[in-house]
Amino acid sequence: MKIDQNQKYRPSLHFSPKEKWLNDPNGLVFFKGEYHLFYQHNPNDSVWGPMHWGHAVSKDLIEWEQLDIAIYPDELGTIFSGSAVIDWNNTTGFFPNDPGIVAIYTQHLDSSDETGPKQVQSIAYSHDHGRSWIKYNGNPVLTHPTKVDFRDPKVFWYEQENKWIMSLATGQTISFYSSRNLIVWKFESEFGENIGFHEGVWECPDLFELPVENSGEKKWMLIVSVGDNSKLDEGSRSQYFIGSFDGNTFKPEHEEIKWLDYGKDNYAGVSFSDIPEEDGRRIYLAWMSNWRYANQVPTEGWRGQMTLPRELSLKKVDGDINVVQRVVKELDSYFQVKEEITDIMINDASPLSVNISERFVDVDLSFKNSNSSLYGVTVHHTKSHYTGIHIDTNNNTLTVTRENSGEVDFSDNFSLSQSIVLMDTSELKLRLIVDSASIELFVNEGEYSLTSLIFPNFACERISLFSADGEVQLKNGKFSVPSK
């Protein structure tokens, strides 16, 4: 079955399932020229239900081919989130001839008695680059006597000590385990008490080392998603920690909470394993939704999509190390420049409007403020549907409002605005990528990102720039549309 591109809200640039439900990305791995994207999938309905691992592959991270379901539930439970690695050294003994992929995932079993649900970790392996899977006959490989929330194993090879490390979400902490063979696991340490954001269950950890831009330094980054808490407006969201890891313990180097994204729709993001060394990038993608309303978003026959894949790095600003995220360069070939504008002043008498009329658009803007207290961008999806990006220069805030962006009334929460507190708004660079059902906004070349679903009748008719009072200079504006 081919995806019907005319289906309402069907994205062009983002992965979405042909049919039925999708949530977290799972088992992201690169092997023999292919990027693999497995994902939480309910093949029977377009709401969350018994989880399977769906599967898609891509050669360029943008265009995905959906394959058959990879892993089905069994007597140990349904198939929750997890990761995949290439067992290059045959540590498992599963690959006497050629290396292959091992998936490490949670199995979730509901029980009818008062013992409650059970979560354990299992593994499966593939000799034919993910097309078929053999479940290990000694599953589960990791259990816990008491912990109920015990899930989402993310595994990597820790070269220095020739061992695998697993990060696992354990209630409101992350536990680290190690193994020589992916089968026998040893507890190493537990992280998270008295640090970070705790207003929800911790899920989907990912730990990796990253270079700090313009320095010889490297630091470890730990991503932790935090589940929905009905008392708060944000719903589910993701935080991260920067610190060190010595093979046993993760030590954070800051106390404040760091958010991965300032929009509502970036959750359960994890990175690709086994990107070749000569490439060297750390690429992640996330589920582009929010548990608060994920089951209600107004798509028909299918539900759920991923963010664009983004390259991660770290940047030191005023002694503080923060993540920087940029959409992978592979996206560039999907666009051609339609209009480029340099050096014009925008004020209330002369706003700027650029006609687009396309299914997706990529806009790059660089502003220098003169004396505007409020300026910004309006994405006009149709005559009556629009999304606003407002920069308040007195308070240094950037706010995205989607209350008029199209269908919003499937959830009370969806119309609430999303904002970022910036250090400075006198100069600002914005990149926004608009697809049929989303806007991904990057500020100052990825120092902040704000990811937001929208449900307009059309992606983009035109873009306008405004200043409510005073003047702002558009130093450069580049409007790019589909190249084919």
Q: What is the footprint of ligand FRU within residues 90-149 (CB under 6 A)? A: 106
User: Which residues contact residue 116 at a Cβ distance below 8 angstroms, ignoring those fewer than 6 apart?
Assistant: 148
Binding-site member from 38, 53, 80, 208 for ligand FRU (CB under 6 A): 80
Choice between 119 and 467, CB closer to ligand FRU: 119
Distance CA 149, CA 39 (A): 20
If one asks whether residue 204 binds ligand FRU (CB under 6 A), the answer comes out as yes
Q: Which is nearer to ligand FRU, 226 or 389 (CB)?
A: 226
Q: Which is nearer to ligand FRU, 14 or 292 (CB)?
A: 292
How many residues of this chain bind ligand FRU (CB under 6 A)?
Answer: 12
Q: How many CB atoms lie within 10 A of CB 257?
A: 13
Q: Please tell me whether residue 66 adopts helix, strand or coil conformation.
A: strand
Token pair belonging to 373: 């207290």
204 or 437: whose CB is closer to ligand FRU? 204
Amino acid code (one letter) for 371 = N
The one-letter amino acid code at 391 reads I
DSSP string, 24-44: EEEEEEEETTEEEEEEEEETT
Member of 12, 14, 15, 23 binding ligand FRU (CB under 6 A)? 23
| Position among 12, 46, 66, 81 found at the interface with ligand FRU (CB under 6 A) | 81
Tell me the per-residue interface mask from 342 to 381 with ligand FRU, x by CB under 6 A, - otherwise.
----------------------------------------
Cα distance between residue 85 and residue 33, in whole Å: 15
Contact status, residue 99 vs residue 90, Cβ threshold 8 Å:
yes
Given the complex with ligand FRU, which of 205 and 456 has the nearer CB atom? 205
The residues in 146-185 that bind ligand FRU, with binding defined as CB under 6 A, are: 151-152
Q: Does residue 24 interact with ligand FRU by CB under 6 A?
A: yes
User: Is residue 274 annotated as a catalytic residue, yes or no?
Assistant: no
Structure tokens at 28: 């992201």
51-70 residues in contact with ligand FRU (CB under 6 A) are: 51
Is there binding between residue 268 and ligand FRU (CB under 6 A)?
yes
In angstroms, give the least distance from the CB of 80 to ligand FRU. 3
- C-alpha angle 55-60-62 in degrees, rounded to nearest 5: 70
Q: Which two tokens stand for residue 67?
A: 């394959």
Question: For residue 248, how many other CB atoms are within 10 A of its CB?
Answer: 12
Query: What residues make contact with ligand FRU under the rule CB under 6 A?
Result: 23-24, 40, 51, 80-81, 106, 151-152, 203-204, 268
Which residues are annotated as catalytic? 24
